[in-house]
Amino acid sequence: MRTSPAVRAAALAATVTVLLPLTGCSGIGGKDTPDRSDSSPHAANAAAAPGPSDLASQQLEWHPCPAPSQAEGGGTTPSPLPGGAVWECSAMKVPLDYARPDGDTMELALVRAKAIDQKNRIGSLIFNFGGPGASGVATLPAFGTEYDKLRTRYDLVSFDPRGVGRSDGVKCENDKQLDARYEADGTPDDAAEEKIFTDDTKEYAAACERNSGRQLPFVGTTNAARDMDLMRQVLGDARLHYFGISYGTELGGVYAHLFPKNVGRSVLDAVVDPTEDIEQSSLGQAKGFQLALDNFAKDCADRGGACKLPGSTGAEVEQGVSDLLGRLEKAPIPGLGSRKLTQTLAITGIAAALYSKETWTLLEEGLDEADGGNGALLLALADSLNGRSDTGHYNNLAAANTAISCADSKERFTLEQTKAKLPAFREASPIFGDYLGWGLMTCTEWPVAGVWDHPDVSAPGSAPQLVIGNTGDPATPYKGAKAMVEALGQGVGVEMTYKGEGHGAYNSGNACVQKAVDGYLLNGEMPAPGTVCG
């Protein structure tokens, strides 16, 4: 029986751990909103602030986990793990502002599964799945069986970072407004479209300030790193054992910079380049997604008649994709229900399917169906990346992503500056370049000032950390791993390479990668620097 587009796209839900600036039409700003930049030094100087010693002694109350909230993506109660172990949830108090540790607090949602071998338990292994904005409370149980070997000696633990999911999740626009936002043209072509684009960014920022103004100054990565050190203490661990994926590698690097002596066994997978600013990172993503599309198109063409897409070479397959997007800009096609597949949603759907080689078949099918006038599957793929459920509700991943990114980055691009950058983006990617280039305006006029050009992850004195780069990663290009190793400092980062496709290495299923990571985390056996798996 032919499955629905939503079911076919469901494999992507919660697997996308870096969000493209798919709100390229969601560059955020609020012209008339109050400036909260006086709060930004609090985040920048958080490491120097006194620690909340009373909060470090709090006792967590664990209970069986409920179903994920809508902000976390919705769904059903987490299934028991092999052997019958249940997922437990709790809440941990943290200071709203670490510069005022005795002031207001907020609660972070936590999830855990206890170690199987309690006698030889190492401690807690804390996961961050990226985004920024991904709910760890929803994601870890969804993929918990993939980490079950690590559960032999660790309590598997994750959390919703501040501003995410149940942890005082940032709220901006409602479902109806978000539907309109994601359908809108993310690559304006004339002055009239540019005005619509910039007005939309201002309206979005105003909504974020109106609905979540209290937490916006305090959701940055530095505070999240401070939260993890408090979590380490509350969980009773002398050192932080950590598994960071995608943006989680940036968070791990910032943690190591702030608390190098507290680093335990740490794995950074799908590595963000910590030396890049927003422009460089977005340009790198344009190149990364173009590389992934090139590889997809070549694979399709090499299969000859077995490929559903027209073209005998990769270039010809890609030309067909470009032609389809050009037609969609002029005339959207039927999608799901009354919703249409627009050019922007099609680009989003294509990007979503490039996060894993396993979903290339969905991309091929979706492009073929769209070429025939049925946009349902590409729209379902776009929904998976935008965080829209099949009931029409959105999680808060995109809102949290924007809030955290803009709390971190100082960069604020004007319309004129953005337009001047577009040629470089178009050269990097004929398909994704325009879209990612316009995404530079994501933080324009955001009501909270950012604190850095790029994160400082230098960590002299830290324990060694395993840093894994994937040569075909579209969202965090391979060169980020080497940059992270160099930025961490001599004797800290140990680079390992996975020659594969998709976003991330451990969850690719590659036996070589999993053996190396498991051996390090479980037995302390760090692979030799330069190890290559393929």
Lowest mean pLDDT among 36-50, 299-313, 434-448: 36-50
Q: Which of 432, 349, 428, 441 is nearest to 388 (CA)?
A: 349
Whether 68 and 479 have beta carbons less than 8 Å apart is answered as no
Question: Among 288, 284, 254, which Cα is nearest to 268's?
Answer: 254
Residue 51: both structure tokens together: 């620690």
**pLDDT score recorded for residue 35:** 29
* pLDDT for res 51: 58
Would the pLDDT of 388 be above 70? yes
Q: What is the pLDDT of residues 391-427, one digit of tens each?
A: 999 999 999 999 999 999 999 999 999 999 999 999 9
Q: Which two tokens stand for residue 123?
A: 């401690």
Nearest to 232 by CA among 264, 271, 274, 200: 264
Does residue 345 contact residue 378 with C-beta atoms inside 8 Å?
yes
- Check whether 450 has a pLDDT greater than 90: yes
pLDDT > 70: percent of the chain: 90
Q: Give the dihedral sign, CA 223/224/229/232.
A: positive
Residue 440 confidence (pLDDT) above 70: yes
Mean pLDDT, residues 150-160 taken together: 98
pLDDT of residue 29 exceeding 80: no
Tens of pLDDT, residues 451-470: 999 999 999 999 999 999 99
Is residue 14 scored above 70 in pLDDT? no
Decide: 117 and 83 in contact? Cβ < 8 Å: no
Q: Which residue's structure tokens are 């037995």?
A: 523
Q: Which two tokens stand for residue 514?
A: 């999993």
Task: Give the whole-angstrom CA distance, residue 419 versus residue 7.
Answer: 39
Asked if residues 9 and 384 have their Cβ atoms less than 8 Å apart, the reply is yes
pLDDT of res. 33: 28
pLDDT of residue 20 exceeding 60? no
Query: What is the pLDDT at residue 83?
Result: 87
What is the average pLDDT across 498-519?
96
Q: How far apart are CA 510 and CA 498, in angstroms?
A: 9
Is the pLDDT score of 169 beyond 70? Answer: yes
| pLDDT at residue 49 greater than cutoff 60 | no
Active site members: 246, 473, 503
How many Cα atoms within 13 Å fall on the side-chain side of residue 323?
12
Is 70 exposed, middle or buried, given 0-12, 13-18 or 19+ CB atoms closer than 10 A?
middle
Q: Would you say residue 224 has pLDDT above 90? A: yes
List CB contacts of 16: < 8 A, sequence separation 6 or more.
352, 355, 384, 385, 503
Is residue 44 over pLDDT 50? no
Distance of alpha carbon 40 from the chain centroid: 23
**pLDDT, tens digit, 9 for 90 and up, residues 325-363:** 999 999 999 999 999 999 999 999 999 999 999 999 999
In terms of Cα–Cα distance, which of 100, 94, 43 is closest to 223?
A: 43
Q: pLDDT digit string (tens) for 272-282?
A: 999 999 999 99
Omega within 30 of 0 (cis) for the link into 132: yes
> pLDDT at position 507, please?
92
* pLDDT attached to residue 360: 97
pTM of the entire predicted model: 0.90
Instruction: Give the tokens for residue 275.
Output: 């030396």
Q: Is the pLDDT of residue 125 over 50?
A: yes
Question: Taking Cα atoms as reference points, which of 185, 432, 399 lies closest to residue 284?
Answer: 432
Report residue 25 as tokens.
Answer: 């039409």
Tokens, residue 223: 């505070």
| In the predicted structure, residue 150 carries a pLDDT above the cut 60 | yes
Tell me which DSSP letter residue 390 carries: T
Question: What integer pLDDT is reported at residue 52 of this predicted model?
Answer: 67
pLDDT value for 303 = 96
Residue 42 confidence (pLDDT)? 34
pLDDT tier at 221, thresholds 50, 70, 90: very high
CA-to-CA separations, 381 to 24, 324, 349, 377, in angstroms, rounded: 17, 16, 5, 6
In the predicted model, what is the mean pLDDT of the chain? 91
Average pLDDT over residues 242-256: 98
> Given a cut of 80, is residue 235 above it in pLDDT?
yes
Residue of 230, 276, 234 whose CA lies nearest to 255: 230
DSSP 8-state symbol, 452: B
**Residue 151 CB neighbours (<10 A):** 21
Tell me the average pLDDT across 271-295.
96
Rounded CA separation 208/358 (Å)? 35
- Beta strand 240-245 pairing with 154-159: unpaired
**Tokens 């305090």 map to which residue?**
218
User: What is the arithmetic mean of pLDDT over 174-198?
Assistant: 96
pLDDT value of position 489: 98
Separation CA 302–CA 316 (nearest Å):
12
